[in-house]
Structure 1
């Protein structure tokens, strides 16, 4: 796995269905290394700390390979990396092969796989289409949240070097599927 894009977002206020919503979901690629801290990415907006950011969700990674599937469903969007609110767009992040607890050395950092990303209405805001939420649930392409065990900078081109694997744990895809079933999706 290799970083294709590093993405951060600013605090953005959006009028959504008659309400003003503050969000950090509008992330865009930057051409410089980003610093991964213990609770968030430096200079990246996390508006709702109840559901995003924090120790177990400090960094969100999403696979570039997943973009093709969603581009077919939303062909008229202005597609850019960071569309899913990810901090790291990774060339081939496969949720069926990544286990909870797996650790990776990436750039100056050490990252631990912690949990899935569940889609919320703010993804609908980003896509300007609430249908994306159900479409996202209908796949196992949820991306991965990471805990930062060692802080530092990462940049485009950095490789995920696996330090430990925990095949006795559930994969990200298995955790996501269990959550989908529990929600009746």
Structure 2
């Protein structure tokens, strides 16, 4: 089970990203508490593309700081890796990863209750942010994706509050299993069908799994992983 961990909380405003000036809220910075957590995320945080980011099922993004050292080993030193926020996360912790966090986990932060709703589907904005054309694909293939929470109970958190596990309804479904099914072992259709039936999983991921089972074809990731030409 998950031991309580201290959390760094980050928020970001919409800003131009990269040479083409894409509208994005990916540049998150550490913020001082207390933090107000609503159904659609942290007060003071913003997303530039509400079609693909944010909303009730992706209200808060959590990325393990545990992965930063691994990234340095893969891509070398990078100023973004010197502090939390490199991957646009709202919550940064050490001790929780995709192997130990499960879909549907209910966790407490202050008076707020959050539930793990899905993993992250990395997009090309990570490439632009890092100035490399492979960060999104590496994030996906490595399984170091981070995850999203829905907010079950709005509340307020203080800097001294720890993130703690309250309930685990899906003990057989660590996030690493979901990520493996979607991005690595992509044709395990019986498991994908089981995945599509997990009620705590975000509807978009349940639909994705069901469609792949029906079509027997993995969806095309090209548009998501590569910066548009304009």
Specify which of 70, 80, 88 is matched with residue 85 of structure 1: 88
Q: Please report the RMSD computed on the Cα atoms of aligned residues, expressed in angstroms.
A: 1.9
Question: 1:97 aligns to what?
Answer: 100
Residue of structure 2 equivalent to 1:64: 65
Question: Would you tell me which structure has more helix in proportion to its own residues?
Answer: 2
**Aligned residue number for residue 30 of structure 2:** 29
Specify whether residues 20 and 103 from structure 1 end up closer, same or farther in structure 2 by C-alpha distance, changes over 3 A only.
Answer: same
Is the 1:28–1:80 contact (alpha carbons within 8 Å) kept by the matching residues of 2? no
Distance in 1, Cα, partners of 2:160 & 2:85: 16
Question: May I ask how many residue pairs the two structures share in their alignment?
Answer: 183
Q: Give the whole-Å Cα distance in 1 for the aligned partners of 2:100 and 2:181.
A: 16
Structure ranking higher on relative contact order (CA contacts 8 Å, 6+ apart): 1
Gaps of 5+ in 2: 187-217, 222-230
Q: Normalization by structure 1: what TM-score?
A: 0.89
**Deviates further, 152-161 or 27-36:** 152-161
Q: 2: CA distance between counterparts of 1:74 and 1:150?
A: 39
> Which is strand-richer, 1 or 2?
1
Where 2:108 maps in the other structure, the secondary structure is: strand
After TM superposition, where is structure 1 displaced by more than 3 Å over at least 4 residues in a row? 181-185
Matched, 1:46 2:51: no
> Which residue, 13, 16, 21 being the options, matches 1:13?
16
Task: List runs of 5+ in structure 1 lacking aligned partners.
Answer: none
